[in-house]
Structure 1
Amino acid sequence: MKFSELSPDQWAELQPYLDTAVLPVTGLTGAEMPFQATEALERLRDVLYQIESPFKGRIVTYPACQYGDLTDNAGRQVEAICAKLKQTGFRYVIIAAAFPVDPRSELIPSADLLFGTSTDGLPPAAETVSEAVRRIWLGQ
């Protein structure tokens, strides 16, 4: 479910069931040609699809952080956003990146899961995403 699909009344009703936020991170630098920015957004779309599609009704996807990756100032900003999402009531926060990330990385301690593309730009396997999400929901 997209953040924009929820009215205040719907949020009050559905909040107990929507316990997981997804924060997309595009990783743009500003040095991309227009077609490269488009490619990054397409990679992000593909990663998001693997997360959103099977778990519709339990997750809320937030607006993307377009510029910066998960290091330096941009990483601190993403960490702050993840922490605030948890403060607003989300139990879990998942990062979806348009670039390769180490799923075991501790760069963003408030994120429960990190998914990104392979070095070839491919999204994570559906089975990998499904298993990882179910594991955090089961507390494993």
Structure 2
Amino acid sequence: MKFSELSAEQWAELQPYLDTAVLPVTGLTGGEMPHEATAALERLRDVLDLIENPFKGRIVTYPACQYGEWTPAFITQLKGVCDNLRGIGFKHVIIVTAFYVSSEGVETGSDLIIQPVENGQIPSPAEVSDAVRKLWLGRA
């Protein structure tokens, strides 16, 4: 479910069931040619489809963080957003990126990062489903 689909009344009613926020991250820098920006957005859409479609009814997708390189300052900003999403009642926060990042030892504040693999290929639907289900079962 997209954030824009929820009225205040609906949020009050559905909040107990919508326990997972999805934070898309495009990773644009402003240095992309128009076709490169389009490719990044399409890649993000393709990765988001792997979580939005099968888990509709339990997740809320927030607006994308379009611009920001994967630097310590940007990661700190993402951590603040994740903390804020938890502060309004989300139990889980998942970051979805249009690009591969090494998340080893990086504290984003999210419970899970779903992203393309190093060669740019998007993960399989089964991999994403398994990772999300493990998160919800407390095994992530």
TM-score, L = length of structure 2:
0.94
Aligned to 2:81: 81
Match of 1:24 in 2: 24
CA RMSD of aligned residues (A): 1.2
Partner of 2:56: 56
1:80-112 Cα distance to aligned partner (Å, 9 max, x none): 10111011110000000000124x534234200
* Structure 1 residue 29, shift from structure 2 partner: 0.7
**Distance in 2 (alpha carbons) for counterparts of 1:87 and 1:42:** 30
| Counterpart Cα distance in 2 of 1:39 and 1:109 | 25
Q: Which whole-Å CA distance do the structure 1 matches of 2:52 and 2:104 have between them?
A: 22
Please, which runs of 5 or more residues in structure 2 have no aligned partner? none
- Name stretches of at least 5 consecutive residues in structure 1 with no aligned partner: none
Name the residue aligned to 1:113: 112
Higher mean C-alpha deviation, range 37-46 or range 70-79? 70-79
Identity %: 60
TM-score of the superposed pair, with normalisation by structure 1: 0.94
Q: CA deviation at 1:21?
A: 0.3
**Would you say the 8 A contact 2:78–2:108 is kept in 1?**
no
Q: Which moved more, 1:62-71 or 1:35-44?
A: 62-71
Instruction: State the partner residue of 2:133.
Output: 134
Which residue is equivalent to 1:96? 96
The 2-side partners of 1:96 and 1:7 are apart by 24
Distance in 2 (CA, whole Å) between partners of 1:80 and 1:137 is: 22
Q: Is the 8 A contact 2:75 2:108 kept in 1?
A: no
